[in-house]
Amino acid sequence: MARICWFSYQTLSADDLRVSDTAAKLREHQCFLLISLRVLFRTWLKESKNLPSPLEIDEFRLEGLEDEINLLEERLTRDDQDIGFCHNDFQYGNVIRETNAITIIVLFDYEY
C-alpha cells in the first residue's frame, strides 16, 4: 500500500539564504550535524559487534573502529574545529521551508 502526502513547502532562493533568520536556522543544522554523527557512528559500532564471523570483523577492519571514533570525536569537539556541510548541501533545491514561514527548514540531500 502506498501513501501520497502533500506538504506546502517551497525551495529557498539565493535571497532567502541571505536573510539572517534563515542563515541562523541553517547554522543550527550544522551544530546538529556533530551530534547526529556521534549517534550514527556509535550505532554502527554497536551493530558491527553483531557480525557473525571473525572473518567479517577482519574484512571490515572493525578492531580499531572504536579508537577511530574516539579520535574523531576528540578532534571534532575542539574549539578550533568547525563542522560544515559540503558538496552543495545548501544548494537551493536542497533547502525548503514551509510556505510563508522562516522557522521550519528542511534539508534534502539526494544525488542526481
> What's residue 25's pLDDT?
76
What pLDDT is recorded for position 58? Answer: 78
pLDDT band with cut points at 50, 70 and 90 for residue 37: confident
Is 83 or 17 the better-scoring residue by pLDDT? 17
Residues in CB range of 99: below 8 A, 6 or more apart: 8, 9, 10
Could you read off the pLDDT of 49-108 as tens digits, one per residue? 787 687 777 777 777 888 888 888 888 777 776 666 665 666 777 777 777 765 656 766
- Cα dihedral across residues 17, 18, 21, 27: positive or negative: positive
pTM: 0.47
